[in-house]
Chain A
């Protein structure tokens, strides 16, 4: 017994080195479980408040580009106004859409909330973005994040009371269900960690016709992302001979280095969709047993 204490006393520094090293590696490899802990939530509040202060200065360097994006977005919305359409033909009637939009929530599928980026990086293999809205303002995990220009930025992965973290498209674990605008063929957008301007589109079969300049949008079949939002444009078409699929290089629609104002999009029917899927799976499981 005495020898054990002597040993510990003699190698105390080495043993504490091992302990700290194990603690660090535990945090790293258990990240998914760890980031739920309140510990990181508190840290998120602290880094968030520092980031907000620095961001106040940083904003001025991106004003011009941000202005241009907001103006373009306004322009596209202006074109949708009812007053733009003049109906000279007397045979046609203008009918008001009877769908209620605001009076009841049941028809609404997507809800937009504005938020501001307080910290953002593009230099790493795994990039995260921090927003100045958190669970107190109704932000939850798995909500999509769209830039002020209408391009997909990422998805919320973690929230604290007043701040939230976004898994950027520039993250090696990011997978976004997407589709080609022209044919509607679905694939997956991911990032090869090489250049923050370019993404990769996978899962498009060779028999689909693909050209340079084709637009890639979000898929209709996603629970998290609203449909038909732009992800990017194809700049390079290559065929992977091993798999008979395309390797498509996509130029991102969003300039990730200067994202400033964003929308957080909530799918109000997400729970219902997931519930339905779960129940279907359960039903199939139950049906399988008696038929055997």
Chain B
């Protein structure tokens, strides 16, 4: 399938799941807000230009913001992780092997260890920034710390479940076509 079409399909799926499933689950606790939609940015292909990733992040955040009536909140956090993503990938992966052989970041291609460090760093950045922007408008400092940690925990759990349930079939790219 064409990369562009595949990613548009993926984006709408992630947004719909975030808006109509995760945001609507019965209230468990004030600190527990399950976020998963930003996994879309984590799954963008290695080959995408940094500028494209940045714009994809902006669109992802904005489309969620329109549903939750908070223009700018998720957008700011998504743009941040979209900007940081290439640096983290450069740090974590030996460029010669993985990036040439695999299409996009996945536990299979990168190994579970590096993939989870990659996911954790970006999740942590996303949630810290997001909760901080909310905290500027309302709440105490202790709320901010606890909410950041708990939402990061929930998101990492969700990412683990998604990766286990839906292993993406990765074509091992060779030059033999």
A residues lining the B interface (CB < 8 Å): 12-14, 16-17, 20-21, 23-29, 31, 34-35, 40, 43-44, 46-47, 51, 54, 58, 119-126, 128, 165, 172, 193-196, 257
Contact = CB atoms under 8 A, between A and B. Distances in A.
Given A31-B71, A126-B70, A24 B76 contact: yes
Contact of A124 (B25, B68, B76): B68
Given A13-B50, A25-B76, A193-B139, A257 B26 contact: yes
Interface stretch (B107-115, B130-138, B162-170): B130-138
B72 A27 contact: yes
Given A24-B61, A27-B72, A47 B67 contact: yes
Contacts of A128: 68-69
Contacts, number: 92
Interface in B13-33: 19-20, 23-27, 30, 32-33
Contacts of A24: 58, 61, 72-73, 75-76, 79
B45 to A, nearest CB: 17
A95 to B, nearest CB: 51
A125 B139 contact: yes
Interface of B: 19-20, 23-27, 30, 32-33, 50-51, 54, 57-58, 61, 65-73, 75-76, 79-80, 83, 133-134, 137-139
Given A28-B133, A123-B23, A13 B68 contact: no
A17 B66 contact: no
Given A21-B80, A46-B66, A40 B138 contact: no
A125 to B, nearest CB: 6
Contacts of A28: 70-73, 76, 133
B157 to A, nearest CB: 16
Question: Residue among B57, B66, B139 with the most chain A CB within 10 A?
Answer: B66
Contacts of A193: 30, 138-139
Contacts of B69: 126, 128, 165
B138 A26 contact: no
Contact of B24 (A25, A44, A121): A121
A96 to B, nearest CB: 48
